[in-house]
Each structure stands twice: as structure tokens, then as C-alpha cells.
């Protein structure tokens, strides 16, 4: 018997998302699928899929076709809400996150951000690490002292133009 | 001929740091050493060393001893400023970073933070990824289409207590 | 005759919570149960129960089963709203609390936070007190000059990683 | 041989404190005294002493006399800076703390603050827990799985006036 | 013929209040009663009554009984919304008030707050004036050059604990 | 033997004041005078004097003359710093006060501000209570259960213009 | 044929206004009346009328009577929404306006505010220009190089009380 | 005998101004000149002169020449500080002014800003009132009930481009 | 078969717009028209059209007529919502944009804004570049290393008035 | 005779810049050179040069060599301050600019930012316009109705990665 969904996208910080995203998250919960399983079904990585489910990435027509199949959702509804004319309005939640999981990531930037900048400058010169041409991974690394989360950002270095 | 240092720690956002950190950064610049070279000399990773140079980590007595040697700085001065009684007051810069390099890291959290939380919850359950028991790496990955920065956070998963 | 509930979760700061939490709070009010009584019924401490009722902790399947019994709430509804796929989005209210009860707690941190940090560093070294592996208690201590609230946080010390 | 102090009170967030506090912290560091040792010498608890060293509590004339003895500081200087006419301007650091140690305490309030209020109201009625008539303790509790910090606030309950 | 109410509690800053407060304010308007008249009917001061009508104080069971009589409101509805289980979430409006009447009060604190603190410290020592054990009065003082508002806060002095 | 002053006007929030105010506060401390004593000497109330000492009111030429006498300060210096051409830049401290004494006053406005507005409107009509044509008093009221601070604002009602 | 109204008072920043104001603005649009025409009909200036339409001033009973006639609106509805018991909650929009028209006015204060204060102090002494006893006018001044807006504030000078 | 100046430009909000402005204000105070007198001497209006003295307008070479004469200041110093290469960085003080004189002006915009926009749109169409091509006047209007400040902004209407 | 629209104007930051703009954007999506195509149909540039679709510019009567034709929308509805009486309330989204596309534009101002001001002052003197009499263009410039966006603002220089 | 410089980099918002930038700006002013002239001397565009003078771009070794020649500044000093080890900490001024020139640019993004995003998405798909690989130009376009500023950003389009 299917369990109904429990994704309160109508409450903060998800209330800023179009309602179509609730549909996706509820369908995932009902099907009992992981992001990894959905990712495999549509040929994408689980982090990218999760990003798209939270309105932070854009499915193309082929993605939506496969998605409607794996989630048993009407293709027309997905296309109406997330089709060709829709583009993500990225960025979710308040400027300083309050949820402890997201805050820890933010704290990582507050504490290690300038050291990381110093190393990027030292190794690559004057420029940035792209967050556009960037892949993100979340891995589980078993450890007898307690499993570890390995979070990887793999972004292209972009040198500053001079003119 | 030695080049004098060019590390404006007296200007934003570094003006919040104790002046001893300027001494470290200037000595590094005069010696022409990379963070990696200093790290190898004192037996620590380059990101950790950069963090300590920016006041985000604590050298112990042995670190300070080696540091005074590799940087030709008076041991007493390092101990006076960064010794047993000093503890980092971590967190550097404004709540929303303005420098584009650091902002891109912040944007990474704004865009991918909630998807990452969703995956940590899905894979590990209710808890967080520690930023205390956490290692950070900055690697350069050569790529014919443009070198890439690979940034890794490896942090212990901590489940929420129930009582 | 039962008294209906008076928990305005549709008003600030509780409007950020999923509506299922209103259901819990109303059922508690109708039953006239204290958090302690509910805690005893489900085998948890009253502070943890209150935290979960305000969306700050996660019930597991067994908790929800017992909760549906003690509150006479449909199990399916609880599972749909707070089941396996739901994870708390923790943090409630504005950055600086305005309610005087919560503000006093905040003021405690503004006034005693740095002294407490100094003592944690002095006693334990460089690290933090965990708010994840942490138990919270609220006790009433009778006192002829006026009863006292004894608030205890019991959290694991986590030393900073060096690498 | 005395170690010189390493307390950067001239940097954030301590730059808001009168310079006399630097004198106290440096003298403590040079003497190699813990807050507990100073507390025992002047007949006060260590948390209260740490609070006073960080400008969050007021020494009386007798405290200053003993303090000048235990720290070998000129009594006149202490009296000039912290004497009868000086009163603490309490509250230290930014509204949302950035240092991870202090932030965890703040997070404790963000996550558990409303549940704590609910329990105070449930147990005591309409009123607050005083942060003025309040004692704070920081204890170290040995634990084979990792030592724990036990933080206690013991504050008088104050019922709201009705008139 | 009764005039219907004109209290826009569904608009800012009153939208944060539970809807039961709209009911109270509308009933008051329909009855054409002043806060003083209601206060006399239930044995409370007008400022306290106004505070309770704006969600800033808590009626007890006896208050609600009298209130239902004087306002011709169903007792059950008042008890359901404001009964035993409801406690005020105090604090109304933005951190810096925008309405000129409320702003003037705020300006009074910005301009005279530190001088008042200096006098409290000078006259009472290190401590605060309680806003919990505090009575507030708003009086009209006729004056040929223009009537005056006399606003009085009468709060208990609370000395800081030392321990 | 004179006691030297202990008024850290070079630290927050007083660093925004012109340095002449430090001179006044130090002279007061050295003389061991209360604001009331100074007020009597120059023919003004103590709250007004305290306000002027903290840069929130303007001494006229006669006030400065008397002030130089009672405080043994060079008249020329007072005139140079606070004379005819100087006008107060009123407002002291951050938008939300952090010191508990000042915060309690602020909290008084957050909690009772809208009820007070409701009563001013009810009693006087559409207008404000002036903070310009306003007298402020701080009285000590002995009470066996603990002395009380009685704070009074006596301000002219100003009706809104219609045109 | 009448044109229906086009006043999006349900969108920012007008969503903070009671809905009765939408009614007024729509009726004005349907009638095709200017604020000046309405002002002439009810014997008030156009700026005052516009202020009242945007919730920033209070109509009295006579104003509402005339208003219901000129706008063909039911008198009872106006009285219910804006009658004796309603008082403006003044201040509209965010602290720093974003609309370019309103921002320019704000910029006028940021740029010329302190010079204007200097001139008010120089010409009138220590006090303020009232915004309560103040008339505002918006005039159109034809100019061959482009018509000009002449904006006038005519406010009473209020000297600071001394006591 | 000349009175020395009393213009604390080294304190807030004037600390953001280049020090040359202190020189101007002190010279004005020493000479005992009004802005009007200086304006007449250099052929400019008093408000414009006050604006330039507070760093909000730019003197040209001829202005500086006359200014050095009327204030007996070295021409070279004025030119060095305010000459050809210097341009105003306009905007003074915090986003929401705290000084009551400046706040009242700000309040004028918060209360009357949207009504004024409505009238500008009604009378001129879609566009703004320029604060660049704008004249500001501060006049004193004697009135038996109390003198009045008449503040006038006379700015060009600029229609929005369409393309 | 027509594709329905996918423009979530009911979610952030578009929820501040009047609902008529949703109608426009949905009609555009259903028709499959580009802003350029609509611009050509009504004789306007694509950037101006996009601005008007997002509530940042005002259509005149003729524009609305053509728009109702090209989008097959009822003319009366467009006129009711965007007609003579409606004026844009410009400015969309939070003060610091979070969407990466808009943030990059903002970052352009944070990084190059002061240099641009320096050049405008150097080339034109003291004044501003108008954003009212300004044309904006977005062009696609093919480039073998990756197409480029060429964004042009063409605004009138406005010299500051002196008076 | 040389004119001394008038660039108040010690005042807001330039106080955040390392002092070496003051040296550059003063030397430029003494020499009476435009950014264009300096740009031609060192082979760079004037906007890029202005950006580097305000700390927003990085000179390489060759640039510094030529700069020391054209400005008659000691090469060693430039290298010490801006050499190999220095990297720009980009972003200047507050989050919302207050200077009217810079504010107009910011307003351009607030008003046209979302329409520009819509067009970039429509023309290029899901991605951003780079502010790293971007050229900026400020041109003067003579116009009989008033000269115009033509501001151009030419940035590479970067498509979002999918993975």
C-alpha cells in the first residue's frame, strides 16, 4: 500500500517554489524512490536531480518525458509547469540559512572561504571557480568511527578578463 | 632579492584579524613560499595551513615551533600572539560575501544547499554533516577545456540525539 | 466536555510550520495533556516532545504509532505528514527573537556566549559543544524567593579536526 | 619564564570593549591562571569571572582589590577603569554570532527556544525566565564516548504583572 | 443602529495576530466601548486591556468569562482561542516601528535610553528595570497650550545576580 | 584623594559621540557628582542633564558657564566643543539595543507600543505624542518587595494637520 | 462605458493596506476622477486626499459622507471600514524605497537631509520641523526646458523642551 | 575674540566625510558666518552651500577661490582637497536616519511618498521628479502660532524612455 | 496542440506583481512568441517589451490594443488591469538578487560601479547617467570560443543643478 | 605648478581599500592624467585601468613596471603593495549603493534585471552572462538634446552544467 507524501513544500523555505515542485516531491515519496533511482532512470546524477526537484535546475524535454514515466505523472502537466518557457529562479532560503544542515555548509564557507580563495589564487591566479560549469557530488564514506559525508564541488576555473 | 609582502590585512575583511596574522602572511610572501610548502614543512595540509594563516584554525606549540623556523620569525612573538591562550574567533567577512571568488562558494550553498540536505537526510537519516570534524581540500584538475578546481569537504555525519 | 484547542499556529512565527503541527498541538490541547504526559506515553523526554511538536525534531515510525494512540489521531494522517520522507527544517522565528521569553534565552547567549566559549576553550581546548548530540532539559526548582527555571544543555564536545 | 598574553581584544568582536579588559586578559595569560583559579581567589564562580573579564559583569570594590592582588595589577588602574562609576554595557558580538562555538549556543535557542517557552508556560504560567537573577555554569562531564559540556542556566521565574 | 467594526487586523502589522483578536476588536467597536469601560467591567486597567486585545497579555478564565459578557461574545469561542493553552507571543510590528505614533515612543528610547540607563545605574546600581513586573499607564493631562500625554512605566528594579 | 574616571566613551556605543562628552563624564566621575547634583547646580532636571552629557541635548551659553564652574572645566574648551554652532546629532546605539537595561525599554515599546497608540488615538484622536516637547523623569519608588523604577514621559499631544 | 479600475492594491507595497482602500481607488478610477476633483468635492487638498486614499490620513465622518456621494459608494461600507474606530497605521513600503519615483524623494533626504538639518538649526535653533503639523503640496510648474515638479513641505518648527 | 569651532565631523555620521570638510565647517564657525552669508559671498544659495559643506555638492574653481577669501583659508589647501579631481560621494548617514530632525524628513517620504508618486503620475504621466536637476530651499515663515519651516524641492519631471 | 504556459508568477520574486502580468506571460508562452516577435508586432524593442511584461514599464492605449491582438487577449481585461490609471511600481526582487543570472549583473555594479562613476565624472563632470531616459539592449554576439551577451545601457547624462 | 591630489580614499567607501590605491589615485591627480591616458601608456582600456585603481583588478608585473614609469612612482613600492602575492578582494561599497551615480546603475539592475534574465534565457537557454570573462566600456555619445553615456557589458554566455 502506498504511503502518501510528506513534503511540506507549502511551508518555509519551499513556499517560494512553483507548486509543480510539490507534485514532483510528492510523487517521489509515493513511489518510495530515492533521488539516485530517479537519476538512473533519467540518466542524471542524484544531486542534479535533487537540485531540479527543488527548482534549482532545468529539465529538458527528454528529461520531462522520462520523469513522467518513472513518477507516473501526466506528461502534459510537467510540460505545462516546467517546459520550454520555464527557467529556474535559483537560490532557496534566507541569506543566512537557519536549518542546521544547511547552516553547516554555510559555516564551511564563512570559515574556509577566504583560505580557499587564497589557494585558488595561489594555484590558478586571478579568477574564480565557476558554480555554473560545476558538478556537485554527495557521497557516503563508511568509517568505523562514524560514516562520513564527502561533498565535492568540481568547477571550471575562469580567469578574469583583462582588456 | 626578496620581494616585500603585499597582503593588505589592515583592510576589509581582514581588519578583524589580530595583527599577528599580518606577520605570518608577510613572512610567507617574503619567503616566496606556497601554503603547500609551509604545510609540508610543518606536517599539515595546505588548506589547513591557509585557514590558520587567516585566523580560522589553531596552531599548537609544535606547529608554532616549526613555523618560526620555516618563516624565520621569532618564536616568542608567535607564541605571544598565537600561543596556548589564544583560540580562533572563526568566521571571516560579511554574512553575504562580496568578493566574487567567495561569493561563488556561497552561491553554491544557496543553490545546492537544500538538495544536499535532502540527500544527506535520504542517505544518512536525520542529522548533519560536521564542519568541525571535517577536512577540506582544494585540488587543481587539468582539463583541456580549462583547468578545474575540485573542492572537497569530508565531514563526519552526526545523527541528532533523541532523549 | 472537551475544550477546543487554542494554538494559533497559523500566525507568526508558527506559520512557517507544516499544518500537521497544528493538528498535533490542537489534539494535545483537546486532550488536556502536558508534554511530559505525552513524553511518558511515547517514551521520550518532554523537551524532545515539545521540540518535535514545533517541527524541530523527527518522530520515527514507532513514535508516530504511539502518538496516534495517545492523541487519538489517525495514524495515516500522521504518517503522511511526518513519515519517513519528512525531515525537520529546523530553526523557528526571526534571527533576533521578539517574544520576551525567547529573547531572554537569546540575551543569555549575547551576554554569556563569549565567556562560555572562553571556558569551553580553557577546559576542553579548540572545539565546540555540539547542538546535535545534545540533550536539553527544563526543570522547575521550587524556591521560597520565587521558583526557578533550570535549563540544561548537555552536549558532546567536538574537537576541531586538523589535517 | 612568563609567557606573554595572546588575547586579541583589539580585534573583532572584542574591539567594542574598553581597553581595561585587555589588561585583565593579558594579566591572566601572563600569570597562567584559569578563570576557576581567579574565581577561587576572589570568591566567585568561574563563569561569572569570565563574564566580568569580557565586560559582561561588574566587579565591586572588594572584587577589584582582590583582583589586583591575584593578577599583580595596580589597584588604582583597575579602579580608574572599572570602579564605582563604570557599569557594563552588556552584549558582545553581532546579532547572529559567526564563531562556531557561540553560534551553536545561538542555534540551541533557534531550535529549542520555542519548545522551551512552551514548557515554561506549561509549568509556570505566563511569565519569563530571568537572565538577570540567573546563574550560569559550564561543567565538564567525562564520557567514554567523548567528554560532554554541561551548560546550565538557573534563572528565577518572573510572572507577568496584571494591573 | 450599530456601526460595524473598522479594525483592519488582517493588514500589517496585525496580520501576525491570531484571528480571535480581530473578533475582540470588532466586538469592542460594535459596542462602542472604550478600553477603559471594558477594563472597569473586567476589573483591569485600560492599558492592560488594550495590551491583551492586541495579543500582548493573557486573559485568565475569569477575565474571559467577564469579557464574553461585556462584549456579547460566545464564551466557548473565547476560551477556544485564548484559553488555558494559549500564551501570548509578545512583540508586535517591525524592529524599527514605522507608524509615527509608535516611532515617537521608539525615538524616546533611542534618544533617552542611555541617559535613563545611566540614571538607573546611578540610583539603583547594576541591574535593570523589569518589563515583566511592570505597570504601564497612559494619562491625558489637560494643558491650555495643548493637552499632554503622560506615559508611565512602573517596573521593579532587578539587581544582577553574582555567583 | 580624587578617583579617576571610568567612563569608556571610546568604546561602543559611545564612540559615535564627540570627544568633549568624554571630558564631561570624566569630570563628573572625578568630582563624584550625581546627575542630580549637577542638575541642581545648573538649574536643570537630572534626566535632561544626563541626556546632554550623552550628546542628546544642547546646553546653552548659560548652562555651559555654570557647567564649567561645577565641574572645574575650562569654559573655553566647553564652548569650543558644545557652543553656539554645535547641535546634537541625536540617537545613540544600534537600532535594536543590546544592553539589557536599554533593551528592556525597547521591549516595552515592542510589547506595549501598539496598545499605547490605540489608547492615544482613543483618548486624543488622530495624532501623536511629541518626543520633542516632552519631559522625561526617572524616579526611585521604595517598595518592600523591591524598589521600583518609575519612568515617566510627559509629551504634548499633536493632532495631525488636515489641509 | 465605464473603464474598470487598475489599481493593484493586492500587490506590493499596497498589500499592507486594509481592503477598503482598494475600494476607494477602484471607485476613483471608474469615475475617472482626479485627486484634485475629489479634493474639491470634499473640501480638501489633493495631496491630503491621495494620502487618505493610501491609508496615510484619516477621514472624519463628514469626509466619509461626501466621499460616498462623489464616488457613489455605500456610506455604510465606508463607515464600517474607515469610521470612528479606525486610525491610520502610517508608513508604506520598505525602509529604502525601490520604486524610482519614491526613491528619488528618499535620495533627496539622503543627500540634502543633513544640510537641511544644519539650516533648520542655524535659523531656528535646536528643534525639528514637524511632519504632523505639516502641509504637503505637489505643483506642476510649466517650463520650456521641461515641466517641473514643485514639492513643498510646510511644517511647524518645534523647539526641544528643556526641563 | 573668535570662538573656536564646534563641529564634530570626526564623529558619526560625519566621519565618512573627507577631513577637508571639517576645515570648512570650523572656519565657518570661527568666522561666525551663516550659510546664507557664505552663499551671498560666493553667489550661491544657502542650501546648496550647506550641501557642499557636508560633501554633497561640488565647488568649481571659482567657488573655491571665493571660499578661500570669505573663510580666510589657504586656496591651495582647498584646491588640494576639493579641486578638479574630487567628486562628491553623495549620501550621508544610515539608511534610516536616527537624528529626529532628519528622521522627520524621512518620515515625510514614508508617509507621503506613495501619495506624491500617485499625484506625479496623475499630473505628469509615467516618469520621475529629478533629484539631480533639482533646487532645494529652506525658508522660515513667521507664524503667530509658531514659526514654520517651508521646505521646497523644485525638480524637473523626466518621462520614462520607451524604445 | 497548444502548450500551456509555465511562468510561475505566483512564486517569488514575481508574487509582488499584479496578476495581469501572469496573464501576459502565459499568453506569450501559449502563442510560443519571443519578446522580439511581440516587440515587432507592437513597434517596440524586445527589452522594453520584456520590462513591461514584468511590470517595469507602462503600455499606452495603443500598445494595449496591439497587444490584445497579437496575444489574443480580451482588450477590456488588459485595459482594466494596465490601463490609464495603472502606473508601474518598479523594482523587482530582493535588494541583493539571489538568482545567479541577476546576481551577475548586480556583481557587475559592485565591482565596476565606482570605476564607472570615476569615468563618468572624468568625462562628463559632476552628474549622473539617467536610468529614466535610458535605452537597454541585450544582444547575442556569436563567438567561436562561446557566444557572448552584449548588454548596453544608453542613458542621458544629467549634470547636477547648482543654485 | 602641480596640483596636489584630492582623492579621499581614507573616507567611505574607499576606506576598505589598501593604502597603495590612494598612492595611485594621488599620483594620477598630480600628473593630471586621465584613465584613458594611463590606459594607453600601459596598453589597457580605461575602464579596466579605473577598476584596477579602485582595487577591482590585478596588475601583472609588466603593468606595474609601466605604471611606475607613467606615474613616476617607485617600482618597489608598487610591487610591494600590488605584486605577485596580492589579489583583489573585489566588491566596493554597501550592498545598496547610496551615491546617486552608482545607485542609478543599481536601479538599472533592479528594474531591468529580470527582463534581461528573461531575454538571456530566451536567446541562449539556461545559463548566465559571465562577469569574469567580461569587458566593460563607458562611452560618451554626443547628442544635441544632451550627451549620453553608453555603458556596455560584453560577457561570455555560460550554460549550466548538467551531470
Side by side, the strands of the sheet bearing B127-141 are A127-141, A148-159, B148-159, B127-141
- Please, which pLDDT band fits residue F4 given cuts at 50, 70 and 90? very low
Which helix (H) or strand (E) segment holds residue C62: the answer is: helix C61-71
B116 interaction partners in chain A (CB closer than 8 Å): 47, 50, 101-102, 105, 136, 138, 151
Cα–Cα distance between E98 and J43 in angstroms, integer?
Answer: 54
Q: Which listed residue (G69, G77, G84, G104) is catalytic?
A: G104
Q: Are H146 and G82 in contact (CB under 8 A)?
A: no
Nearest Cα of chain B lies from the Cα of D93 at a distance, in angstroms, of 11
The residue written with cell numbers 541583493 in the block is I96
Which helix (H) or strand (E) segment holds residue E117: the answer is: helix E100-124
J98 interaction partners in chain G (CB closer than 8 Å): 110
Which chain I residues have any C-beta within 8 angstroms of a chain A C-beta? 3-8, 10-13, 28-29, 96, 98-100, 103
Which range among F48-57, F58-67, F83-92 shows the weakest confidence by mean pLDDT?
F83-92
Nearest CB partner across the interface for J110, out of G98, G107, G110: G98
Decide if H69 is catalytic. no
D96 interaction partners in chain A (CB closer than 8 Å): 96
Which chain A residues have any C-beta within 8 angstroms of a chain D C-beta? 96, 98, 100, 103, 107, 110-111
Nearest Cα of chain H lies from the Cα of E44 at a distance, in angstroms, of 35
Q: What pLDDT score does G4 carry? A: 46
Residue of A nearest to I93 (CA): A89
Neighbours of chain D (3+ CB pairs under 8 A): A, B, C, E, F
Cα angle, residue C127 at apex, residues C122 and C130 outer, rounded to 5°: 115
CB contact under 8 A, B98 and J91: yes
Q: What pLDDT score does J11 carry? A: 67
CB contact under 8 A, C84 and A6: yes
Percent of chain E with pLDDT over 70: 93
Query: Which of B114, I31, I10 is closest to A81 using CA atoms?
Result: I10
Nearest CB partner across the interface for C120, out of D53, D101, D110: D101
Cα–Cα distance between B106 and G130 in angstroms, integer?
Answer: 45
**DSSP per residue, chain D:** -PPPP---TTSTTGGGS-THHHHHHHHHHHHT--HHHHHHHHT--HHHHHHHHTTSS---HHHHHHHHHHHT--HHHHHHHHSTT-------S-SS--SHHHHHHHHHHHHHHHHHHHHHHHHH-SEEEEEEEEEEEEEEE--TT--EEEEEEEEEEEEPP--
pLDDT score of A38 more than 90 = yes
Nearest CB partner across the interface for H91, out of J5, J29, J99: J99
CATH number belonging to domain I101-159: 3.30.1160.10
How does pLDDT run across G77-126, given as a tens digit for each residue?
999 999 988 999 999 999 999 999 999 999 999 999 999 999 999 999 99
What's the mean pLDDT when you consider all of chain A? 92
Nearest CB partner across the interface for B107, out of I100, I110, I111: I100
Cα–Cα distance between H120 and C75 in angstroms, integer?
Answer: 60
Q: What pLDDT score does J4 carry? A: 47
Q: How far apart are the first and last CA of chain E?
A: 64
The residue written with cell numbers 564563531 in the block is D99
| 3-state SS assignment for residue F129 | strand
B112 interaction partners in chain A (CB closer than 8 Å): 47, 51, 56, 136
Nearest CB partner across the interface for G140, out of H95, H117, H123: H123
Which chain H residues have any C-beta within 8 angstroms of a chain F C-beta? 3-8, 10-13, 28-29, 96, 98-100, 103
Which chain G residues have any C-beta within 8 angstroms of a chain I C-beta? 3-8, 10-13, 28-29, 96, 98-100, 103
Residue of J nearest to B29 (CA): J85
Residue of G nearest to F137 (CA): G163
Cα–Cα distance between B53 and A119 in angstroms, integer?
Answer: 12
Cα–Cα distance between F129 and I103 in angstroms, integer?
Answer: 44
Residue of F nearest to D92 (CA): F98
I12 interaction partners in chain A (CB closer than 8 Å): 16, 89
Cα angle, residue F100 at apex, residues F95 and F102 outer, rounded to 5°: 50
The residue written with cell numbers 533626504 in the block is G109
Query: Which of D91, E132, D57 is closest to C108 using CA atoms?
Result: D91
| Mean predicted confidence (pLDDT) in J26-42 | 95
**pLDDT, greater one: A138 or A15:** A138
- Please, which pLDDT band fits residue C3 given cuts at 50, 70 and 90? very low
Residue of B nearest to D27 (CA): B85
Residue of H nearest to G122 (CA): H34
CB contact under 8 A, F107 and C100: yes
CB contact under 8 A, A89 and I100: no
* B14-82: CATH class: mainly alpha
Query: Which of D142, D20, D18 is closest to D76 using CA atoms?
Result: D20
| Mean predicted confidence (pLDDT) in B136-147 | 98
Distances (CA, A) of I159 to A32, G87, I129, J105: 65, 44, 9, 16
Q: What pLDDT score does E9 carry? A: 54
Percent of chain E with pLDDT over 90: 83
Question: Is there an interface between J and D (3+ Cβ pairs < 8 A)?
Answer: no
How does pLDDT run across H56-97, given as a tens digit for each residue?
999 999 999 999 999 999 999 999 999 888 999 999 999 999
CB atoms within 10 A of CB J103: 23
β-strand pairing of C127-141 with H148-159: unpaired
- Please, which pLDDT band fits residue F1 given cuts at 50, 70 and 90? very low
Cα–Cα distance between J119 and E121 in angstroms, integer?
Answer: 62
pLDDT score of D9 more than 70 = no
**DSSP per residue, chain B:** -PPPP---TTSTTGGGS-THHHHHHHHHHHHT--HHHHHHHHT--HHHHHHHHTTSS---HHHHHHHHHHHT--HHHHHHHHSTT-------S-SS--SHHHHHHHHHHHHHHHHHHHHHHHHH-SEEEEEEEEEEEEEEE--TT--EEEEEEEEEEEEPP--
Q: What pLDDT score does F63 carry? A: 97
Decide if E107 is catalytic. yes
| 3-state SS assignment for residue A1 | coil
| Mean predicted confidence (pLDDT) in F90-95 | 92
CB contact under 8 A, J7 and H85: yes
Q: Are F105 and E113 in contact (CB under 8 A)?
A: yes
Report domain extents, chain C: 14-82, 100-159
How does pLDDT run across F108-130, given as a tens digit for each residue?
999 999 999 999 999 999 999 99
Q: Which listed residue (C15, C19, C94, C130) is catalytic?
A: C130
Residues in chain I with pLDDT values less than 50 = 1-4
Cα–Cα distance between D70 and A16 in angstroms, integer?
Answer: 59
Cα–Cα distance between H139 and C26 in angstroms, integer?
Answer: 62
Percent of chain F with pLDDT over 90: 83
Q: What pLDDT score does I9 carry? A: 55
Which range among A109-113, C38-42, F4-8 shows the weakest confidence by mean pLDDT?
F4-8
Query: Which of J118, D54, D117, A105 is closest to I50 using CA atoms?
Result: J118
A104 interaction partners in chain D (CB closer than 8 Å): none
Side by side, the strands of the sheet bearing F148-159 are E127-141, E148-159, F148-159, F127-141
Nearest Cα of chain J lies from the Cα of H20 at a distance, in angstroms, of 9
Distances (CA, A) of C145 to D134, D155, E54, E126: 13, 12, 32, 20
In sequence order, what are the beta bridge partners of C138? Answer: C151
Cα–Cα distance between C19 and C8 in angstroms, integer?
Answer: 11
CB contact under 8 A, E44 and D130: no
Residue of A nearest to J127 (CA): A132
Q: What pLDDT score does E8 carry? A: 54
Name the most confidently modeled range: A89-98, B2-11, G43-52.
Answer: G43-52
- Please, which pLDDT band fits residue J99 given cuts at 50, 70 and 90? very high
By annotation, the residues of I acting in catalysis are 104, 107, 130
Count, residues in chain E: 163
Nearest CB partner across the interface for C155, out of D91, D121, D149: D149
Write down the H helix ranges in A32-158: 35-42, 46-53, 61-71, 75-82, 100-124
pLDDT score of G20 more than 60 = yes
Helix axes E75-82, E61-71, angle to 10 degrees: 140
Q: What pLDDT score does G9 carry? A: 54
Which helix (H) or strand (E) segment holds residue E26: the answer is: helix E20-31
Nearest Cα of chain G lies from the Cα of J44 at a distance, in angstroms, of 35
pLDDT score of B106 more than 70 = yes
Q: What pLDDT score does A10 carry? A: 57
Question: Which of H1, H2, H4, H8 best probes binding to F when mutated, by most F CB atoms within 10 angstroms?
Answer: H8
| 3-state SS assignment for residue C58 | coil
CB contact under 8 A, H163 and I44: yes
Cα–Cα distance between H38 and F96 in angstroms, integer?
Answer: 40
CB contact under 8 A, C161 and B133: yes
Cα–Cα distance between B114 and A56 in angstroms, integer?
Answer: 10
Which range among B2-11, C58-67, E31-40, E59-68 shows the weakest confidence by mean pLDDT?
B2-11
- Please, which pLDDT band fits residue C9 given cuts at 50, 70 and 90? low
To the question of domain H100-159 being in CATH 3.30.9.60, the answer is no
Count, residues in chain G: 163
Which chain J residues have any C-beta within 8 angstroms of a chain A C-beta? 44-45, 47-48, 57-58, 87-88, 117-118, 121, 126-128, 130, 132-135, 158-163
Q: Are C50 and D113 in contact (CB under 8 A)?
A: no
| 3-state SS assignment for residue G25 | helix
CB contact under 8 A, J83 and B6: yes
By annotation, the residues of B acting in catalysis are 104, 107, 130
If you count residue pairs, one on A and one on I, with CB atoms under 8 Å apart, how many are there?
48
Distances (CA, A) of E163 to C146, C147, D44, D127, E121: 18, 18, 6, 24, 20
Q: What pLDDT score does D3 carry? A: 44
Q: What pLDDT score does G1 carry? A: 32
Cα–Cα distance between B161 and C44 in angstroms, integer?
Answer: 11
Query: Which of B28, B26, B21 is closest to B59 using CA atoms?
Result: B21
Supply G144's cell numbers: 520650456
Burial of J62 (0-12, 13-18, 19+ CB in 10 A): exposed
Question: Which of H45, H94, H101 best probes binding to G when mutated, by most G CB atoms within 10 angstroms?
Answer: H101
Cα–Cα distance between B58 and B43 in angstroms, integer?
Answer: 14
| Mean predicted confidence (pLDDT) in F34-38 | 97
Amino acid at each position: 500500500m502506498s504511503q502518501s507524501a510528506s513534503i511540506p513544500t507549502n511551508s518555509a523555505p519551499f513556499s517560494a517554489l512553483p507548486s509543480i515542485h510539490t507534485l514532483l516531491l510528492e510523487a517521489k515519496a509515493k513511489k518510495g524512490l530515492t533521488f539516485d533511482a530517479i537519476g538512473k532512470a533519467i540518466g542524471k546524477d542524484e544531486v542534479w536531480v535533487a537540485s531540479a526537484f527543488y527548482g534549482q535546475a532545468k529539465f529538458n524535454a527528454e528529461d520531462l518525458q522520462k520523469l513522467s514515466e518513472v513518477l507516473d505523472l501526466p506528461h502534459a502537466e510537467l510540460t505545462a509547469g516546467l517546459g520550454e518557457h520555464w527557467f529556474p529562479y535559483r537560490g532557496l532560503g534566507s541569506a543566512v540559512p537557519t536549518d542546521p544542515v544547511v547552516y553547516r555548509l554555510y559555516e564551511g564557507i564563512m570559515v574556509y572561504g577566504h583560505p580557499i580563495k587564497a589557494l585558488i589564487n595561489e594555484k590558478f591566479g586571478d579568477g574564480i571557480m565557476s558554480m555554473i560549469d560545476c558538478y556537485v557530488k554527495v557521497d557516503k564514506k563508511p568509517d568505523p568511527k562514524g560514516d562520513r559525508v564527502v561533498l565535492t564541488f568540481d568547477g571550471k576555473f575562469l580567469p578574469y578578463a583583462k582588456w
